[in-house]
Structure 1
Amino acid sequence: MSFLDKYLPVWIILAMAAGLIIGRTVPGIGDALGALEVGGISLPIALGLLVMMYPPLAKVRYDKTREIAADKRLMAVSLILNWIVGPALMFALAWIFLPDEPELRTGLIIVGLARCIAMVLVWSDLSCGDREATAVLVAINSVFQVLMFGVLGWFYLQVLPSWLGLETTSAEFSFWSIVTSVLVFLGIPLLAGVLSRVIGEKIKGRRWYESKFIPAISPLALIGLLYTIVLLFSLQGEQITSQPWTVARVAIPLLAYFVGMFAIALLASKASGMGYAQSASVSFTAAGNNFELAIAVSIGTFGATSAQALAGTIGPLIEIPVLVGLVYVMLWVGPKLFPNDPTLPTGRTPSTNHTTAKETVAS
C-alpha cells in the first residue's frame, strides 16, 4: 500500500481544512475560480475530476464489458436503485427535513436526480469493486441521465407533490447542460482510458500495462480527489462558516440519504446473489451523486446565489467524507457478508492497488 493510500483519511481532512481556510482568508478566491468557466463548467474543478477519473477508467478491461452488460440481474438491480429508489428517497428526506424551506428542498431533490458518473469510479476502485461493472453502470447512468433527468425533475417537483397535496415547484432544465456534463465528466476520461488500454497493450502488452503502467498512474486518482476537495471547500468556505445552521439542515438529510442508499444497495445486491466486487460497484453507484450536474442545473435554473445552488454545493461537502467512510465500512463488512468470496480484496484498508483472493491464487 502506498503512503498516499495508507493515510487517506488524514489527507482528506487536511484537504477539507485547507479549503475552508483558503475560502475564509483569501479575498475573492470564489470570484477568481468562478471566472474560469466555460459553458457553466468550472475549469479548475473539471481538471481535478478528469485527473481523478482517468486512472480507474484506464484500469478497466474493456474486452469484458460486453459480458458485464449482458448480466440482466446486475443491470436490473442498479437501474431500480438509481432511477426509482434513489430519487424517491431523496424526495422523502427533503420533505421530512425541510418542509419549511422550499428552495433548499428543491436543491436537494435535484441532487437526488443527478446520479453519479464521476467519483463513484474512485470509491469503487478504493473498495476493490468490479471495475468493469462500475464502468458499465456509469455509462448506463449517463445515458439515462440525458433521457430522464428532465422528466424526473418534472415528476418530483410538480406531479408527485400535487398528488400528495404538497407545494409544487416550476423548473425547466437545460437539456444541453445535462449533455455537456456527461460529455465532459465521463466522455473525456473514458476516451483517455480506452485509448490508454488499447495503445498500451498493443505496444507493450497486457502484462506490462497492468504491472507497470497502472501502478504508475494510480496515485493520480487520489491526487485529483484531494485537489478537487480543496477547491470545493475553498469555494464554499465563507458560506459554510457564515451559515452553519443552513449547512446543518441540508447536511442531515444528505447524510441519511448517502448512508441509507448505500445500505439498501448493499443488502439488495447481497440478496440478489452478487459477490463482493459487484456489490461494491452497485452500492457506490447507487449512493453517489453527480454533484457537478446538480450544481450546474441549479445555477442555470435558479441563479448562482440561489438557495437551490447552495444546497447543491453542500452536497459534495457531505458526500465526500461520508463515502470515504463507507469505503472503510465496505472493506470491513465484506468478509462478514461475503465469506470465502473470490472477489474479496486481500487488504482491509482503501487502496488503488488492491488485489483479490482470486487474483492472488491466479498469480
Structure 2
Amino acid sequence: MATVTEPTAPAELPVLRRLSTLDRFLPVWILLAMAIGLGLGAAIPSINDGLDKLRIGTVSLPIALGLLLMMYPVLAKVRYGDVARDRSPETAKLLGASLVLNWVVGPALMFALAWIFLADQPEFRTGLIIVGLARCIAMVLIWSDLSCADRESTALLVAINSVFQIVAYSVLGWFYLTALPDLGLDSQGFSIGIWEVARTVLIFLGIPLVAGALTRYIGVRRMGEEAYETRFLPKIGPFALYGLLFTIVMLFAIQGDAITSEPLDVVRIALPLLVYFAVMFSAGLAAGRLIGATYARTASLAFTAAGNNFELAIAVAIGVFGATSGQALAGVVGPLIEVPVLVGLVYVALWIRRRWYPAEEAAARRGDPPAPRAEPRPV
C-alpha cells in the first residue's frame, strides 16, 4: 500500500524546523538573558536597591510585572470548556492517570531527587521542590504538537491541571516544605506557611488565569474560535517569552555575585532536573500503555507529566523567599534545562510511535483518521 513519504508532510518535518524561531532558540535566548543580567548587575551594583524601592510583598514591581506577563499568554491558550465536555470512561482513565502522575508521583519524585542531589544545599533543594509542585502548563502544548500527540487531550489535561493547581499547589507546598520537616526531616531552618504559598499562587496564577479565561471567552465570542486560535493567540504568544527573558535578566542582575562565584551550583541544580524529566516521561508512557491509550493520547499524558510550570515556580520562589534567594536561582535554571531536554524527548516519542504503534504510524503517514482506542495491555 502506498504511503506518504515526502519530507514536507507535517508529521515528518524535523522537530526543530517545526518550532518558531523564538522557540527554536529558546536556550540561546535564556543564556543571552543570563549574560545581560550578569553584565547589568556588574555595571550597576546598586540595581538591587533600586528594585527594592517598588515592591509587592517580597517581589519588586518590575519582576512582578514580568512574571504576570509570562503567565498570561499561556493561560489564554487553555480551552477551559474542555474540562466539562468529555466524560467518556476512557477519558476518565486518562485524567485519573494525569492527576496521579502530576500531583502524587511528580512532587514526591522531585522531593526525593532534591534531597539525594542537594542534601547540603537547603536553598537549592527547596527551590527544586517548588519546581516539582508547579505542574504542566507553559510549553507543553508545543511539545504535544511536535510529537503528533492528541491536541484536544493535551488541552484537556492542561485545563484540568491548571484548575487543580490553584488549590493543590498551596496544600502540597505546605506539606513538603512545612509538614514533613516538622515530622523530623531536617529543613535547615526553612519553614513556609500555607497562606504564604496560597497568597503567591493566587496573585501570580490567579490574576493571569482570570485574565486568560476572560480573554478566551470574549475573544471566541467576538471573532470565533478559529480566528482566536490562528490569529489572536500567535500575536500574544511571544509575550510569554518576553516576560520570561525580562524576569531572567532582572534575576541574574540581582544574583550575579552568587552565580559567578559558584558556577558549579547551576550544574548541581541541573542534574536532578535531568533525572526528573526522564523518569516522569517514562512513567507517562508506561501509564498510557497500561490504560490502553493510543499513541496520541499516551504522548499527551507523557508530556503533561514531564512538563513543569517554571513560570509559577519562579513566581512562588521569589514571592516567598525573595529574588536574591537560592530558591529563585533553582527556578531560573529550570527553563534552561527543560527546553533542550523536552525537544529531545519529542524525538524519543516519535521513535516510540514507529516502534510500539506501527499501525498508528502508518495511518498518520496515509493521513487516515485516528485509530480506535486500543484495549488495555501490559506495560
For the criterion TM > 0.5, the same-fold answer is: yes
SS in 1 for 2:139: helix
The one-letter code sitting in structure 1 at the alignment partner of 2:243 is G
How big is each residue's C-alpha offset from its partner over 1:193-231, in whole Å with a ceiling of 9 and x where there is no partner? 111121122222223222221222222222222222222
The SS at the match of 1:173 is coil
Task: In structure 2, give the amino acid aligned to 1:18.
Answer: I
Are 2:171 and 1:147 equivalent residues in the alignment? yes
TM-score for the superposition, normalised by structure 2: 0.74
Contact 2:285–2:298 (Cα < 8 Å) also in 1: no
Could you report, residue by residue, the CA deviation over 1:151-209 in whole angstroms, capped at 9, with x for unpaired residues?
Answer: 33234323263xxxxx4656542333212211122111111111112112222222322
2:338 paired with 1:338: no
8 A contact 2:317–2:331 mirrored in 1: no
Distance in 1 of aligned mates of 2:134 and 2:368:
28
Q: Measure the CA separation in 2 of the matches of 1:288 and 1:224.
A: 9
Q: How does 1:239-250 map to 2 (within 5 A)?
A: 239-250=258-269
8 Å CA contact retained: 1:68, 1:136: no
Task: Select 1:138's aligned residue among 152, 162, 181.
Answer: 162
Q: Do 1:58 and 1:197's aligned partners in 2 also have CA atoms closer than 8 Å?
A: yes
Task: Identify the residue that residue 253 of structure 2 maps to in structure 1.
Answer: 234
Runs of 4+ in 1 over 6 A off after TM superposition: 286-289, 356-359
Greater CA drift, 326-335 or 71-80 = 71-80
Which sections of structure 2, spanning at least 5 residues, go unmatched? 1-18, 146-150, 371-379
2:195 pairs with 176, 197, 202, which one?
176
**8 Å contact from structure 1 (residues 89, 257) kept in 2:** yes
| CA distance 1:202–1:115, change in 2 (3 Å) | same
Task: Report the CA distance shift for 1:259/1:27 in structure 2 as closer, same or farther (over 3 A).
Answer: farther
| 8 Å Cα contact 1:251-1:314 kept in structure 2 | no
Per-residue CA distance 1:67-110 (angstroms, 9 max, x = gap): 468844344333433443334334433443344x3xx2365146
Mapped partners of 1:46, 1:68: distance in 2: 36
Structure 1 residues 195 and 23: CA distance shift in structure 2, 3 A: same
Change (3 A) 1:44 1:263: farther
- Aligned equivalents of 1:336 and 1:84: distance in 2? 28
When Rg is computed on C-alpha atoms for both structures, the one with the higher figure is 2
Instruction: Supply the distance in 2 between the matched residues of 1:10 and 1:179 (Cα, whole angstroms).
Output: 33
* Distance verdict in 2 for CA 1:116–1:84, change over 3 Å: closer
- Quote the residue 1:156 is aligned against: 180
Corresponding residue for 1:283? 306
SS at match of 1:18: helix
- Partner Cα separation in structure 1 for residue 286 and residue 341 of structure 2: 14
TM-score (norm 1): 0.77
Partners of 2:67 and 2:247 within 8 A in 1: yes
Moved more, 152-161 or 8-17: 152-161
Corresponding residue for residue 344 of structure 2: 329
**Paired residues, number:** 332
Contact 2:200 2:315 in 1 (8 A): yes
1:278 partner amino acid: L
Give the distance between the partners of 1:253 and 1:321, measured in 2 at CA.
14
Q: 1:203 to 1:74 in 2, by over 3 A?
A: same
Contact 1:93 1:257 in 2 (8 A): yes
Report what 2:226 is aligned to.
207
1:62 aligns with 2:66: no
Give the 5 Å matches for 1:294-333: 294-298=317-321, 309-310=325-326, 312-333=327-348
What is the CA–CA distance in structure 1 between the aligned matches of 2:75 and 2:126, rounded to whole Å?
Answer: 29
* Corresponding letter in the other structure for 2:330: G
* Unaligned 5+ runs, structure 1: 162-166, 347-355
Secondary structure in 1 matching 2:67: helix
Name the aligned partner's letter for residue 63 of structure 1: G
Alignment match, 1:122: 138
RMSD of aligned Cα (Å) = 3.5
Aligned residue for 1:80?
Answer: 100
SS at match of 2:138: helix
